[in-house]
Homo-oligomer: A and B are copies of this chain.
């Protein structure tokens, strides 16, 4: 595929540009019989919607999801679900200047290099708005996983130098605080830090984490479709993510085998682990512990400080980007990470159904 389709059994195909008519996704492989309505998807989309707090730009886009196919009498039919969000407040005029030069940190130059030209309005296909389709699909995947007793929860763990204390973790905090941190104190410090940076016409990066619970051992395929490999590829495909860690992540390189190995034990009659340095994955397959994925996100490339760059006539120029731009990407990207993890996991769970002859027989006989 040319890159807009992901998955093998649960397959999503996203489309749309920042300032085109609409954006959307076709979700194929959704099992029949799931209760689904537009509100299920809207709840996810609202978490990435701009303008809801001081960390994100006010915008007139209300990002309303419409389900165009695949749902009948309130239930999924097993056929592809097409979800569309109209772009209601396109103002192409704002972007005429950007067309002439390459914004540092953006994909303007690389799109031009690849395709010969680009839709320069708001980043076109490389805009953060491309993730609308991912999030709509994530809402569906998450709902299915929930039916199987599996939770997928992402949150902001750090903004610039400020890290969240996870000891008081609650989903409610994540969903209610503007930073999507599960820590009110860190949230407040981060809000202050971001505000100060913004005043200096600059932007900040951050870290987000996703935890999967309720997953049995055995999910993931050895070799290339390892659960961690699939999750990493999926999370790294989110614009602005520059590093992905599983479990202890980068810390393993300084660890000793005796520290990093998780000893097995028996808990409530079941094989369990005393620690979880592995982040719930061994040999690319879930080990029954919590899955932990961490992603490092770069600062918003659109800053208001003057920057040097080049224009399409190969001249060096100085530019100052205008418009509305979030000073940080992370809080709105949290639901995108959550979505990508849910989509990836569900697809691997579907693949796993034919792993043993006994399982196939149990299903068909």
Contact = CB atoms under 8 A, between A and B. Distances in A.
Interface in A233-267: 233-234, 236-237, 239, 242-266
A306 to B, nearest CB: 10
A229 B234 contact: yes
Residue with the highest number of chain B CB atoms closer than 10 Å, among A21, A233, A279, A299: A233
B356 A82 contact: no
A147 interface: yes
Given A13-B28, A224-B3, A33 B117 contact: yes
A175 to B, nearest CB: 22
Interface stretch (A43-51, A54-62, A202-210): A202-210
B116 A33 contact: yes
A190 interface: no
A308 interface: yes
A1 to B, nearest CB: 5
A316 B354 contact: no
A251 B284 CA distance: 26
A199 interface: no
3 nearest A-B residue pairs (beta carbon): A107-B283, A233-B233, A3-B221
A282 B233 contact: no
B205 A255 contact: yes
B15 A119 contact: no
A176 interface: no
A144 interface: yes
B237 A360 contact: no
A360 B146 CA distance: 12
Interface in A4-37: 4-11, 13-17, 20-24, 26, 28-29, 31-34
A178 interface: no
B301 A261 contact: yes
A65 B113 CA distance: 31
Contacts of A72: 17, 20, 117-119, 121, 124
B243 A246 contact: yes
B282 A79 contact: no
B117 A75 contact: yes
Interface string A118-140: 11010011100010000000000
B283 A32 contact: no
B246 A236 contact: yes
A147 B33 CA distance: 29
Contact of A265 (B263, B300, B316): B316
A355 interface: yes
Interface stretch (A164-172, A179-187, A345-353): A345-353
